[in-house]
Amino acid sequence: MSALQTFQHEMDEIAKQRTAAALGDKENQSHKASVEKGKAKDEFSSIGDSNDTLEIEETFLQALLSPAPSDHDRARDLVASLITQNFGEYVFRIGLRPPQAKLFTEELSDDDTGWTGVARTEAEVKTITEKITTVVEEVGGKTSVLFSNHSGKRHRASLLLRLPPLSVSQTPEANPHTIMFDVAVWVMLTLVSGKSSFLGVLTRGGLDDGRGRARVGLFRHKHEIETGRTSSIGMEILGFGPDGNPILPTTAHSQDVDVIRREKLGWEEISIQAAKIVSFSDLAGHERYLKTTLYGLTSGAPSCVILIVGGNAGLIGMSKEHLAIALALGVPIVVCITKIDMTPPNVLEETIKQVTKILKSPGCRKTPVFVKSMETAVEISMAFGKDRLCPIFLISNVTGQGLDFVRTFLNLLPSSETDPEKFPIDQPLEYCVTEVWSVPYVGKPPIGDPDSISNDFQDLLLMACIVNSGVVKTGDAILFGPDSNGNFQPTVVRSMQRKRADITRAEAGQCVSLALKRVRKAAIRKGMVIVHKETQPKAVRQFEGQVLILYHNTTLQKNYQAMLHCGAVRQTVRIIDMDAEHLRTGDRAKVTFEFISHPEYIKEGQKLLFREGRTKGLGVVSRIVA
């Protein structure tokens, strides 16, 4: 595991160098300038990114508590800027803030040193809460109390200030500070961990009966219902309203299995009410469906991975491999230990020790934080991903214990789609195809259009694909490919949808669907990319990668074949050259791969995994050969 972690750092450095080289100094400067421009839109632009938020919040509180009308207007402007500069939501903390080192280790005491902020009385906390609620409502927002503590002498509270989106259809077109955005979360692990039941309870609201009732509504195929195994990437969403409450169906507590499967909120219903949406991908945990899990992890852009561990079983089977894959891809990790209601205390204690030991090991180097209070859930969501923290939730799908902490954490988790470094808007368009669907009458041309009487072609809908960079608009002339010969074909974007609403423009980081003009379904496959017509994309047949062999029971030599996962690309490759005679477990090398079937579109700096059954190695694309 230590070799894996060291190699992970090396891969990240190579990826950064290759990305910087691809952008060029001039474009890099332009990208940085655009980011800075977005941060300086008004006199309060430094609020969202300042390290000294305590001083800014105190300035706001002074204006808020002042009786002067002018100060009230100033407080309103300040709170509006606080919210908008943080993409439509802001966590405002009143009173003293506890030292995180003590809070996260469950050793917090009122007598501890290291508290920051201004001490408030219980009456002051309540008064400030009421005044903030009033001023936020004046700017069209909502305030919800995440938690308050008045039991000791350190009175404090945390408030969620949130602006609702303008509308579902206007969301992608609206000011970027008032958008409704997604948080992509991938849920995976072993067959006996209860991850599908966990998702069912989390998104539907009703508790499980201990016999799998909650998971029934998530299954998509008959064999999944019969076996209880997830074999496909199931998509579920959980919406949170402007008031911070989860949006759940009215039949959440029904005992009828058919009602649970039938009566669920769709995208349209949730999007209309939601100010924030968390998208879950229920990845298959069984070894037989490892290729599905790997495709989901490499082709998407998750904000985090939720690792589900059964309290009565611990990290077994595919668990450790899934953990290694998430670490290799650099995705933040959240651990949920389930079934605590049925697990004997001594067994649960052993599972907790095992998980803690693995997270602290040299290969992971994570700091486990057990979330057992609402205050911890709020604080960890704000610090998550910055200091190698790994939240651990102890939950029960039957009693509901710990589920409120998970929902609060997800409600406050920032979206990766707002990261300009991960999804640069000012770069050329790149749109990876991960799902292909042909939908009748989608993007149908108007009567009189020559295309409307042609039966040779169908408009095609590409579902749930992420814009990796750039901007795409309806009517844009684009290229899609590569095909089996490595060529790219021209077409036009007929129409677009996001959150089931028609839109005319989409930016990097957003998940959108495109209807293409006069394209056969057979001409599109997973792994293809869409770029602007002015771009000159190149299909790759051979490339060089820096790789680390995770495990192989013999040796790897030239002509070894394996299944490669690189972004949305999934194809068999052959090793045609390497800087060593043979490779064994733990070895690193510079390896040249060749695609067996047809060329693909990949770039330097992309991370890769290759497997033969189980995962054999990982690495990064270091050079394009041909």
DSSP E strand boundaries for 74-118: 89-95
Residue 502's pLDDT band, with cuts at 50, 70 and 90, is confident
Residue 38's pLDDT band, with cuts at 50, 70 and 90, is very low
Rounded to an integer, the average pLDDT of 125-138 is 94
Instruction: Give the model confidence (pLDDT) of 515-532 as tens digits.
Output: 888 888 888 888 899 999
Query: Fold identical between 180-418 and 539-624?
Result: no
Asked if the model's pLDDT at residue 299 lies above 70, the reply is: no
Stronger pLDDT, 211 or 147, i.e. the higher one: 147
Per the prediction, the chain carries an average pLDDT of 78
The CA distance from 242 to 245, in Å, is 8
According to DSSP, the residues that pair with 392 across neighbouring strands are 335, 370
At 184 the pLDDT is 65
**What Å distances lie between residue 247 and 203, 273, 497, CA to CA?**
8, 8, 22
The CA distance from 619 to 626, in Å, is 19
The CA distance from 366 to 332, in Å, is 10
Stronger pLDDT, 495 or 132, i.e. the higher one: 132
Three-state secondary structure call for residue 334: strand
Pairing of strands 614-624, 542-549: antiparallel
Segment among 78-82, 319-323, 505-509 with least mean pLDDT: 319-323
DSSP E strand boundaries for 96-228: 142-149, 156-162, 181-188
φ, ψ dihedrals at 247, nearest 5°: -95, 110
Rounded to an integer, the average pLDDT of 25-52 is 41
Q: Are the CB atoms for 275 and 242 separated by under 8 Å? A: yes
Residue 164's pLDDT band, with cuts at 50, 70 and 90, is confident
Q: Tokens standing for 475?
A: 């009517």
Domain spans of the chain, in order of start: 39-162, 180-418, 430-532, 539-624
Q: Tokens standing for 553?
A: 């029971």
At 257 the pLDDT is 55
Check residue 361 and report its DSSP letter.
S
Asked if the model's pLDDT at residue 590 lies above 90, the reply is: yes
Nearest Cα to Cα of residue 491 among 504, 480, 505? 480
The single-letter code of the amino acid at 267 is W
At 127 the pLDDT is 94
By the 10 Å C-beta count (0-12 exposed, 13-18 middle, 19+ buried), 471 is classed as middle
Q: Which CATH architecture group holds 539-624?
A: Beta Barrel (2.40)
The CA distance from 151 to 19, in Å, is 52
The kind and range of the H/E element at 544 are strand 542-549
Rounded to an integer, the average pLDDT of 46-56 is 53
Q: Tokens standing for 605?
A: 């700096």
At 625 the pLDDT is 93
Instruction: Give the model confidence (pLDDT) of 531-580 as tens digits.
Output: 999 888 999 999 999 998 888 888 899 999 999 988 889 899 999 999 98
Asked if the model's pLDDT at residue 50 lies above 50, the reply is: no
Asked if the model's pLDDT at residue 368 lies above 60, the reply is: yes
Asked if the model's pLDDT at residue 486 lies above 60, the reply is: yes
The CA distance from 129 to 117, in Å, is 16
At 135 the pLDDT is 94
Domain 430-532: assigned CATH number: 2.40.30.10
At 475 the pLDDT is 93
Asked if the model's pLDDT at residue 355 lies above 70, the reply is: yes
According to DSSP, the residues that pair with 608 across neighbouring strands are 619
At 448 the pLDDT is 55
CA atoms within 13 A on the CB side of 336: 32
Percent of the chain at pLDDT above 90?
31
CATH 3.40.50.300 for domain 180-418, yes or no, is: yes
Residue 172's pLDDT band, with cuts at 50, 70 and 90, is very low
Stronger pLDDT, 534 or 106, i.e. the higher one: 534
Residue 157's pLDDT band, with cuts at 50, 70 and 90, is very high
The CA distance from 522 to 457, in Å, is 11
Instruction: Give the model confidence (pLDDT) of 187-245 as tens digits.
Output: 655 444 566 778 878 887 777 766 656 665 555 544 444 444 544 445 677 889 888 89
Asked if the model's pLDDT at residue 173 lies above 50, the reply is: no
Instruction: Give the model confidence (pLDDT) of 419-457 as tens digits.
Output: 777 888 889 999 988 888 777 665 555 555 555 544 444
φ, ψ dihedrals at 622, nearest 5°: -100, -25
Asked if the model's pLDDT at residue 11 lies above 80, the reply is: no
